[in-house]
């Protein structure tokens, strides 16, 4: 099978690429390298340095004719989206629409879409949040990701384009950007290994559903043959506080400083964790890498870079 992965040089996308190549798929990567990195590119994949908003994306589809599109590319920073809402609409919504038009024109058999469970629901009125929970995102990032879900349904109904939507939790692991504004595990790990002062935004009692990247990749592979026309939460179903993440990483890294607390960031949900029982029933998916093991794997990866 030929698979086109958008964002295939990024954190999650590059792991998805590796998994497809390992299972014997022919892989094409589209990435504008705005956040992705060339060193994350699998050398066995064909790479196109293309923005998903560009007209040149159609040239990639005309040349490659992929069977499956794994749409991992997005601007994915809640805080940045509050400052640049237009950019998030342009990349995440218009870029995805450009991609779907290419899928329609060139006979793609299925689209797997990386959505967000961490931002699409807003502040939940019950936890863990299921797929039936109202979607009221508090930030332009969540709104833009949810908007594309409607377009996927539209393209399925009108053009017969199958899709599966995976609503991601807080994903962490190797290759996540330790210098970014999103991804608290990578940020704390980088600060601790460099001996810098780690700063917790707000009280640190915010809770998230932290899932290791390998488990997210497994869900993407399962969705290749299952879950057409369906939306699935991915997660453990329980929250872990930012303070606990700090404490665990402090122990693993041997960090000696105490945390400093800064102001909370606008647009961020206080507590969110996801009911993934539907994914277990219909995809056969459940997370397997426990938090402590995943954090240790992540720290070991970053240690090699310092």
Q: Which has the closest alpha carbon to 115: 96, 94, 134, 90?
A: 96
Neighbours of 132 (CB within 10 A): 8
Active site residue 88: no
**181 to 89, 184, 186, 201, 215: CA distances (angstroms):** 19, 8, 10, 11, 23
Report d(CA 69, CA 67) in Å as an integer: 7
Q: Which of 88, 113, 121, 141 is catalytic?
A: 141
For 173, 185, 190, 301, the CA distances from 176, given in Å and listed in that order, are 6, 9, 10, 10
Q: What is the distance between the alpha carbons of residues 305 and 301, in angstroms, rounded to a whole number? A: 7
Centre a 10 Å sphere on the Cβ of residue 241 and count the other Cβ atoms it contains: 16
Q: What does the angle CA 43 – CA 145 – CA 112 come to, to the nearest 5 degrees?
A: 50
Q: How far apart are CA 10 and CA 34, in angstroms?
A: 9
* Whether the Cβ atoms of residue 278 and residue 130 lie closer than 8 Å to each other: yes
As a whole number of angstroms, the distance between CA 199 and CA 246 comes to 10
Q: Are 74 and 7 in contact (CB under 8 A)?
A: yes
The set of catalytic residues is 141
């Amino acid at each position: 099978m030929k698979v086109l992965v958008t964002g295939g040089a990024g954190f999650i996308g590059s792991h998805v690429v590796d998994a497809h190549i390992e299972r014997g798929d022919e892989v094409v990567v589209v990435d504008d390298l705005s956040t992705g990195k060339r060193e994350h590119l699998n050398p066995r994949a064909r790479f196109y340095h293309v923005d998903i908003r560009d007209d040149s994306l159609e040239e990639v589809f005309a040349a490659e004719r992929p069977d499956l599109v794994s749409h991992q590319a997005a601007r994915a920073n809640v805080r940045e989206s509050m400052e640049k809402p237009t950019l998030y609409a342009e990349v995440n919504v218009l870029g995805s629409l450009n991609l779907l038009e290419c899928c329609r024109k060139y006979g793609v058999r299925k689209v797997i879409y990386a959505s967000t469970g961490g931002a699409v629901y807003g502040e939940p009125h019950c936890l863990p949040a299921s797929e039936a929970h109202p979607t009221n995102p508090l930030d332009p990032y969540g709104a833009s990701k949810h908007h594309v879900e409607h377009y996927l349904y539209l393209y399925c109904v009108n053009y017969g384009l199958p899709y599966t939507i995976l609503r991601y939790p807080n994903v962490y692991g190797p290759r996540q950007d330790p210098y970014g504004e999103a991804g608290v595990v990578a940020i704390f790990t980088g600060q601790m290994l460099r001996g810098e002062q780690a700063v917790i935004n707000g009280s640190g009692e915010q809770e998230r559903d932290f899932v290791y990247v390998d488990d997210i990749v497994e869900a993407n592979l399962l969705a290749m043959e299952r879950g057409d026309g369906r939306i699935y939460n991915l997660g453990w179903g329980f929250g872990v506080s930012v303070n606990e993440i700090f404490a665990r990483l402090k122990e693993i890294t041997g960090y000696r400083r105490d945390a400093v607390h800064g102001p909370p960031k606008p647009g961020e949900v206080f507590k969110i964790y996801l009911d993934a029982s539907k994914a277990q029933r219909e995809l056969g998916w459940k997370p397997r890498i426990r938090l402590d093991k995943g954090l240790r794997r992540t720290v070991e990866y970053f240690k090699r870079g310092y």
